[in-house]
Amino acid sequence: MALKQPASMDECIYFSNRSMGNGKAMAWVFRKDCPKCGAKMGKPIEKGKVKIRADYYECPKCKFKEDKKEHEESLTMSIIYTCPECNNQGETTTQYKRKAWKGVQAYVFECGKCNAKLGITKKLKEPKK
């Protein structure tokens, strides 16, 4: 499949490099192109700083705005992983949306070999046994 990896963090909305027991996962979500001018969209910039808790995404060139919820639902997450169950190394893509997984919110995907459900959680969140 050969997923395209980001060259810098400026290309990504989300990036994570986590260990999962015996396995590990590296996940990222690329910024979406503006539907009007083609520039990369991001959070709005006010007074030289990025507005972190903004409820919309904005194009820096043409100022096109898109609601945060609909913008994030259209994005896909790319993942390179080593399965903790079967030690299979693989690549996959999934929807950029957190779901309940073992009692915690996580980005959930399946191992390509053993079909085990795996999840990328927030930092310091441990899944329930």
Kindly state whether residues 110 and 123 are assigned to the same domain: yes
Kindly state whether residues 81 and 25 are assigned to the same domain: yes
Kindly state whether residues 28 and 81 are assigned to the same domain: yes
User: Distance between CA atoms of 12 and 89, rounded to whole angstroms?
Assistant: 23
Query: What is the DSSP code string of 10-48?
Result: GGEEEEEEEEETTEEEEEEEEPPBPTTT-PBPBS-EETT
Number of domain units in the chain: 2
pTM: 0.85
Q: Is residue 1 part of a domain?
A: no
pLDDT digit of tens for each residue in the chain (129 aa)? 578 999 998 899 999 998 888 999 999 999 999 989 988 999 998 888 989 899 999 998 998 999 999 999 999 999 999 999 999 999 999 999 999 999 999 999 999 899 999 999 888 787 877
Kindly state whether residues 54 and 24 are assigned to the same domain: no
Kindly state whether residues 127 and 85 are assigned to the same domain: yes
Kindly state whether residues 120 and 86 are assigned to the same domain: yes
